[in-house]
Amino acid sequence: MTKVFWIAVAFTIYCSGNFFLFLYSNNPVKDNEYYFQFTLIYSTFTILKNICLSIGIFIKEPVDTHKYPDFITQNSLLDTISIDKEN
């Protein structure tokens, strides 16, 4: 799993978890039970997001050493190929 995967998972969890919460937030915040549930859900998804982001930051990605054969270097792939056309 790569860093990009964990960062994408973090924001997907955060956005999907809080999307319906914010749609439902037209209830008054003065209601103590609603305020407690809102805080609990929001905090849970924020903590999950932060955990996934931390994993994404601290994970070591494997180095692919066999990407190019020994006789082909990365710079040799940047050379242009010209094709002679007969007129």
Q: Where are the domains of the chain?
A: 3-58
Q: Among positive and negative, which fits the CA dihedral 37, 39, 45, 48?
A: negative
Which range (17-31, 33-47, 69-83) has the least confidence? 69-83
72 pLDDT tier (thresholds 50, 70, 90): low
| Planar angle of CA 6, 42, 10, nearest 5 degrees | 5
d(CA 78, CA 57): 31
Are 80 and 56 contacting, i.e. CB atoms less than 8 angstroms apart? no
Residue-averaged pLDDT of the chain: 77
41 pLDDT tier (thresholds 50, 70, 90): confident
Which range (2-6, 35-39, 81-85) has the least confidence? 81-85
Taking every pair of Cα atoms in the chain, the longest distance, rounded to a whole number of angstroms, is 85
For residue 23, the model assigns a pLDDT of 79
Q: For 80, what's the count of Cα atoms within 13 Å in the CB-facing half-sphere?
A: 3
29 pLDDT tier (thresholds 50, 70, 90): low
The larger pLDDT score, comparing residue 34 to residue 69, is at 34
